[in-house]
Amino acid sequence: MSDSAIQRALLSVFDKTGVVDLAQGLHQRGVELLSTGGTYKAIKDAGLPVIEVSDYTGFPEMMDGRVKTLHPKIHGGLLCLRDNDAHTGIAAEHDIGMIDLVVVNLYPFEETCNTPGASLADKIEKIDIGGPSMLRSAAKNHKFVTVVTEPGDYEQLLSEMDANDKATTMAFRQACARKVFRCTSRYDALIAEELLREAASEDASLLDNELLPEQCAIPLRKVQDLRYGENPHQAAAFYDIRLPGANCLSTAKQRNGKELSYNNIMDLDGAWELVKEFTTPSCAVIKHTNPCGCATADNQLDAFLKAYDGDPQAAFGSIISFNEELSADTANALAEPGRFVEAIIAPSFSDEAFEILTTKPKWKKNVRIIDAGGLSKIPADARYAKNVLGGLLLQSYDNTGWNADNLQVVTKRQPSEQELADLAFAWPIVKHLKSNAICLIKDGQLVGAGAGQMSRVNSSWIASELAGERAKGSVLASDAFFPFPDGVEAAAKAGVTAIVQPGGSKGDPAVIEEADKHDIAMVFTGERHFRH
């Protein structure tokens, strides 16, 4: 019989889905069963012969079950190299039998953390110790030991045994071992992140030191495979990094439409995070991660119409977001002839709006409807990741917005009340444009945007050209300082009357002088918003 033939198995699972059927299948194939706690009871109650681990080790469970499988008879039976005479001799000397199969899944730490009202003590109690230890021991010795941690693999396990005289193939054992180390690494990362959140709730300064620690594992969980990456020949998937309490894209639900692609996800994220910046009824229209339309109004329908009108040509095939439940009136306007939208995201959708979007001849099954489930802000411990080949860049999320108390009016003319309102609307929009970024706002409407240019003055020209006549009387936001007066000069020619920018350039005096020359009001925020 093969060294990897399964003659003795240890089953200890929190999620008991399918475990009794698996135990039945193993018993039918002549496998001796060891088990613990609730798993032991479930197997015994099913009328199957099973040995409790404490009887097998001759050592009782103790400390409320915290210590039960941490024993040489368990880990020796898992780690013993069956082709090493010294190992097998020691095992025989100490009456350590071989354990050929481990079936373990872990205490639900993440689920406990997600439970409202869960205390730190509750969370700590759900940190599994014995489970990961057995998994890692078995996975390390996968040359001889099979280890299974997902109920979805139970059927294949039995099929492998049937096809290989009670053994499993090396390929299967290797695949299972890889799953184990991915599972335990994410589990440990979740614990580290949650313990930091708990500590930071008492002392927020900890985030300054530990948000970007020396060693870091990001707890990734696949949300879904995507249709393709940035291009159809590239494979892609979407992963959740767990930001508890945040209504972000990884927790949103798709209720209608075709599968999402990588680019859809990127655009949806840009649309959703922008529209969350505002408290008044607002709408954002995103194309290639940049807002081509954005507006606020007294009601959602007017906000949508203004946003879409910002650049109707660019809005074709866009992603559209709302910061309120989508209404039937807005749904009817969205579905009017001549409009093509890739996806719509909102905190929720009224029943009537959902029916309109999914039954109109134009839309039906095609339009992607993304229900975000709420409108909560990104928490302070959020990190933003971007990759380079062979590496990952991590930074804290840019949560800062308009702060009227920090503004410095640097020109002779103060901004009017209307200009100030538009500047406040412009500032978070320019934060979501790719740098170098310029946006023009008029009466709560984005009328022109320039993004991703190699020089700031080019972005100013593009924004002004797109705005056309609507640039007259508009305000301008720049994500970083103007190094030279040429950007202000271009804005003045377009008809801009007020500007918000961070300031801080050596060229500030000349820039301010240019603004004064054209009677433009200018305010500095002291904070830039580069977005690469």
Which amino acids are annotated catalytic? 140, 288
What is the bridge-based pairing of β-strands 101-105 and 146-148?
Answer: parallel
As a whole number of angstroms, the distance between CA 509 and CA 364 comes to: 57
What amino acid is encoded at 378 in this protein?
A: I
353 phi, psi to nearest 5 deg = -65, -45
As a whole number of angstroms, the distance between CA 261 and CA 342 comes to: 11
As a whole number of angstroms, the distance between CA 325 and CA 345 comes to: 10
Q: How far is CA 348 from CA 19, 25, 355, 373, in A?
A: 38, 46, 13, 6
Q: Are 277 and 268 in contact (CB under 8 A)?
A: no
95 phi, psi to nearest 5 deg = 55, 45
Element (H, E) at 511: helix 508-517
Q: Are 266 and 273 in contact (CB under 8 A)?
A: no
Q: Are 270 and 432 in contact (CB under 8 A)?
A: yes
Residues 6 or more apart whose CB falls under 8 angstroms from that of 205 comprise none
As a whole number of angstroms, the distance between CA 235 and CA 121 comes to: 42
Closest CA to 254 of 359, 367, 363, 333: 367
What is the bridge-based pairing of β-strands 438-442 and 475-478?
Answer: antiparallel
Taking each helix axis as running N to C, give the angle between helix 130-140 and helix 72-79, from 0 to 180 degrees, rounded to the nearest 10. Answer: 30
Burial of 532 (0-12, 13-18, 19+ CB in 10 A): exposed
Q: Are 370 and 252 in contact (CB under 8 A)?
A: yes
